[in-house]
Chain A
Amino acid sequence: MAPIALLEARGISKTFGKVRALHRVDFHINPQEIVGLVGDNGAGKSTLIKILTGVYPPDEGEIYFQGHRVHFSSPKDARALGIETVYQDLALIEQMSIARNFFLGSEIVRRLGILPLLDSRAMEATTEEVLRGLGITSLRSADEEVRVLSGGERQAIAIGRTLHFGAKLLILDEPTSALSIVETQKVLGYIQEAKRRGLSVIFITHNLYHVYPVADRIVVLEHGKKVGDLRKEEASLEDIVNMIAYGGTQA
């Protein structure tokens, strides 16, 4: 009676030369679910995500989106389905304003004859609305440059952008690794808000403590294999910590 997964990968393997980065990994995420993807350095987290977003093709395995088999030949294909990835560098441009970053590549324009003119007021108003909706309280104006913002505020822009442009699945690679505790808490809030708005979120991290409070499910990778896949109701934080420490054998 499981719902149709939003995105499902079956039997994914990937090797780079002699390195077996992933070995027969099954992974899925349901609609409106937050999945924490954890594991040590080199466990294969980023590789799995790159396969799910069309950066690399898998050597083996299949990907299904809402029950249909898909073949991604580039990240564009994945984005077209509403799969958005926010990498650590966030794809934000420091010297540009918040609103211009927010709408980069999808600007709101009014036409003056043949000339498309930016509707700055609309872009700023929308940006402020979306960011406040996510729970940002410190925003002064969307026409400030991104370089004056804190790490958490930057995350909010990247998250808000995917929310506004209709993504279904948001993938965050180590969103909190460079943030203070307070900023991390804020970002966790934005992620929960994104879920409330109907998004699914894959949250990749080294730090289980960052993802545990918000995750519905935790998937643990180790040396390219999936060693754990636990719903939060089924496992305490301690169980998962043990699983990471001793590998899949304890679970």
Chain B
Amino acid sequence: MTKSAEIKQVAPPARKRDLWRRALGAREVGVLIALVAVIGVFSVLNRNFLTVDTFGDILTQAAELGIAAVGVTFLMIAGEFDLSVGSNFAVAGVMLALLTTRLGWSPFLSIPLVLAAATSVGFLNGVITLGTRIPSFITTLGTMMFWRGIALAITGGWPIYVLGSSRMLDLLGGMAIYQTVRISALWWLIITLIFWLLLVRTPYGNWTFATGGKPEAARALGVPVGRVKLTNFALAGMLAGFAGFTQFGRMGSMSPVWGDGLPLEAIAAAVIGGTSLMGGAGTILGTVLGAITMASIRVGLIMVGAPSYWYTAFLGAVIVVAVILNVRLGEMMTWRR
């Protein structure tokens, strides 16, 4: 009781202003503004944009990106990148498709097996990066090409189709859970909640921030910096693989060329959402909003009938604006203290 009295004494400014400052200082402010702007623009251009169906579409479109981006966000906060998530995504989807259709394996065996393989691919990125001390931007550029090649080689470059539907496909991504919202969006939600908890409420999350923020300091305090990075590489691989599963489930087929834009889109979602390119800062909520913003642009452009190549240009513009907002707001908050 004396404590709260003391706090008031030394920090007289009203709580209200503090709340305000906190809200404005939150890393997600930039992306929220960007998202509102995007929704505003498309709502004006097409009156059907602001409907439940469209929003369901957006969530469905965002799910695979969102799932992979969660892993990428963890890794970026720890100060590393993974450009191979798109290839990992393709290999995992293709392997699951091959095992369950061509070889007739049970999903109960195939899913854990392929997920373990995707996790290992991520782990291997970590081993190579930490072992050679080459920046992960380069090492994973290499593994990106390598695993894409593998995906193409095992399929001969052709998509794998599933004839008819299956319980597995339905549960992974095919089933609609509410109007236009597919079950993949539910997976995304579950994964987001788990990883949000991991990031902000556990020592592991704390170590991840510290590892990316100032590795020498973290190490000096006993944080196993190398292990934290390795684990995050592995997690990024696992989530990329799982995103491949939901894509396969949703489409009922899997192509070895899918997911080639995924690595940069995942980084973009994270960065739009306030994750630092330098490591040490970022939020899961920001990345979720980033993925939703990007999917909104994609769906919105389709709805207004713009040719699909506008997506890239529009996205580029939004990334730049959101990042500027993030940096400026961050500076403003430091300065106002």
Contacts and interface: CB of A to CB of B under 8 A. Distances in A.
A32 B206 CA distance: 34
Contacts, number: 80
A132 B10 CA distance: 11
A105 B222 contact: yes
A93 B217 contact: yes
A95 B213 contact: yes
Given A95-B281, A105-B222, A141-B11, A89 B217 contact: yes
A213 interface: no
A71 B46 CA distance: 75
Interface stretch (A115-123, A169-177, A189-197, A227-235): A115-123
Given A89-B217, A94-B213, A104 B10 contact: no
A28 B105 CA distance: 71
A90 to B, nearest CB: 8
B10 A137 contact: yes
A249 B214 CA distance: 45
A104 B281 contact: no
B209 A139 contact: no
Contacts of B214: 91-94
Interface of B: 3, 6-7, 10-11, 197, 201-203, 205-207, 209-210, 213-214, 216-218, 220-223, 276, 280-281, 334, 337
A15 B280 CA distance: 38
Given A96-B206, A96-B209, 8 more contacts: A91-B220, A91-B221, A94-B214, A95-B281, A100-B206, A109-B202, A128-B3, A140-B10
Given A107-B206, A132-B6, A147-B334, A118 B201 contact: yes
B220 A109 contact: no
A90 B280 CA distance: 17
Nearest to A94: B213
Nearest to B337: A148
B315 to A, nearest CB: 27
Contacts of A89: 216-217
Given A104-B218, A105-B222, A139-B10, A95 B203 contact: no
A91 B220 CA distance: 7
Nearest to B205: A118
A241 interface: no
A4 interface: no
A118 B218 contact: no
A138 B9 CA distance: 10
15 contacts: A90-B217, A93-B213, A93-B214, A93-B218, A93-B280, A94-B213, A95-B213, A96-B206, A100-B206, A103-B206, A116-B202, A117-B202, A118-B202, A140-B10, A148-B337
A100 B223 CA distance: 13
Interface string A70-105: 000001000000000000011111111000100111
A92 B222 CA distance: 13
A141 B21 CA distance: 14
A92 B337 CA distance: 19
Contacts of B202: 109, 115-118
A104 B3 CA distance: 24
Nearest to A119: B201
A116 B203 contact: yes
Nearest to A138: B10
